[in-house]
């Protein structure tokens, strides 16, 4: 059997397993599966075709409730209009090298042969001890899902392929390891990985961080997103603003070493007026509400707490063993987000209290670095505060 045939058989097998899991979940749930499932549907060709996603809608907040604007225009429509005149908008982050991006290998679809060649290169370097982690099958599938979501949002296939690789690989790496990913992309694709293409933000007069457009597309699709960067760069604000734009509830959970499994999924407690009752944790509450659930400083959480989150990150029901095995299904709109100063490797000593995170937990997220708020936007924000 040739390598290509073995690769194709592996991909088809995994797609079949995904289909079985989704059908079983849909039958158990009694309705359509969550927004970020059912994305691995291959067409008749070797490429990947986009599926329709709920558009990133703009909305305004009034008090504690969020109501969509009557004049809202689907964000995907705004994006596609912007793309007509500006196909690729570089981010404010630059590559390690000062050389400009060069035109190299281009793709018109999600090319599994190229993708697996890149991922296998990561695996070999991990086995040689050059990288902290390899490129698991789960992350390869997440790359394909991210590609489909980005193409649906209006990015070209080549930009979506490159950006998806970064979200699954270089954006989750330390600065030292990122240089390896940049070099791997340069050698294999004959092109620069950075600067990355970005997604335009809504033009609704609000102070949107330049990274918020991309974050909004991924959050809307329900893909687990780990945003990292320096304190004060606006990571949590991005998640909150996106939730408001999507008219979804927003739940913020502060990570500390003192958090318990009961805080995360729920536990029994005694109330004088009610007796012994079961209190649901933030994860089942967020899943039932279809909320954007932001774990602030997720790397500070103990591993025994994050383990309880694994099923929810895969779009599967959360089983509450302490409550008779009750199953909590993720409602449409549920989107888990981590807002952290690190990528979960404990790599930044200045942020005391953050710790290396379990590798299995880290493997379930897309990663996005949030850079500093542009100086002009900082000035406008300060001026807005000073207005009477």
Residue 157 has pLDDT above 50, yes or no: yes
Sort strands 335-340 and 225-228 into parallel, antiparallel or unpaired: parallel
49 pLDDT band, cuts 50/70/90, is: very low
More confident residue, 56 or 49: 56
**CA–CA dist 155, 79 (Å, integer):** 9
Choose the weakest-confidence range: 91-105, 109-123, 131-145, 285-299.
91-105
* Averaged pLDDT for residues 181-210: 92
Confidence grade of residue 360 (pLDDT, cut at 50, 70, 90)? very high
Fold of 219-388: Rossmann fold (3.40.50)
The model's pTM is 0.75
**pLDDT given for residue 69 in this prediction:** 38
- Answer positive or negative: Cα dihedral of 15, 218, 339, 134: positive
- Let me know the angle formed at the C-alpha of 168 by 167 and 173, rounded to the nearest 5 degrees: 85
Torsions phi, psi for 65 (to 5 deg): -95, 155
Angle at 233 between CA 342 and CA 154, to 5 degrees: 95
pLDDT value at 43 more than 70 = no
Give me the residue label for tokens 């309880």. 308
Cite the DSSP H helix spans in the chain: 3-29, 75-85, 112-127, 137-153, 157-168, 175-189, 212-220, 235-245, 261-265, 282-289, 303-306, 310-313, 359-362, 375-386
The domains of the chain are located at 1-55+76-89+106-200, 219-388
Better-scored residue on pLDDT, 183 or 27: 183
List, for residues 97-136, the tens digit of each pLDDT value: 344 444 578 899 999 999 999 999 999 999 999 998 999 9
């Amino acid at each position: 059997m040739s390598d290509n045939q073995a690769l194709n058989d592996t991909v088809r097998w995994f797609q079949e397993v995904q289909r079985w899991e989704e059908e079983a979940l849909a039958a158990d749930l009694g309705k359509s599966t969550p927004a970020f499932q059912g994305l691995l549907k291959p067409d008749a060709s070797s490429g990947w075709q986009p599926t329709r996603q709920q558009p990133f809608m703009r909305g305004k907040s009034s008090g504690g409730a969020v109501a969509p604007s009557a004049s809202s225009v689907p964000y995907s429509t705004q994006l596609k209009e912007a793309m007509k005149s500006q196909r690729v908008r570089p981010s404010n982050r630059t590559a390690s090298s000062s050389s400009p991006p060069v035109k190299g290998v281009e793709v018109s679809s999600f090319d599994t042969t190229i993708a697996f060649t890149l991922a296998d290169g990561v695996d070999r370097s991990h086995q040689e001890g050059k990288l902290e982690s390899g490129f698991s099958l789960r992350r390869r599938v997440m790359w394909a899902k991210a590609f489909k979501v980005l193409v649906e949002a209006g990015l070209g296939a080549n930009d979506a392929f490159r950006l998806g690789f970064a979200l699954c690989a270089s954006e989750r790496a330390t600065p030292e390891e990122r240089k390896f990913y940049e070099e791997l992309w340069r050698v294999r694709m004959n092109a620069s990985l950075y600067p990355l293409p970005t997604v335009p933000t809504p033009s609704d007069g609000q102070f949107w961080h330049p990274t918020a457009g991309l974050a909004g597309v991924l959050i809307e699709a329900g893909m687990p997103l780990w945003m990292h960067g320096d304190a004060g760069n606006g990571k949590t604000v991005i998640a909150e603003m996106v939730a408001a734009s999507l008219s979804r509830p927003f739940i913020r959970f502060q990570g500390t070493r003192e958090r318990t499994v009961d805080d995360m999924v729920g536990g029994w407690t005694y109330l004088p007026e009610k007796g012994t009752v079961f209190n649901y944790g933030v994860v089942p509450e967020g899943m039932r509400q279809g909320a954007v659930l932001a774990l602030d400083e997720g790397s500070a959480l103990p591993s025994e707490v994050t383990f309880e989150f694994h099923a929810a990150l895969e779009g599967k029901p959360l089983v509450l063993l302490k409550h008779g095995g009750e199953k909590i299904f993720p409602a449409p709109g549920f989107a888990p987000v981590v807002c952290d100063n690190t990528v979960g490797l404990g790599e930044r000593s200045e942020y005391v209290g953050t710790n290396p995170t379990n590798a299995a937990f880290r493997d379930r997220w897309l990663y996005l670095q949030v850079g500093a708020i542009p100086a002009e936007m900082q000035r406008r924000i300060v001026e807005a505060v000073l207005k009477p």
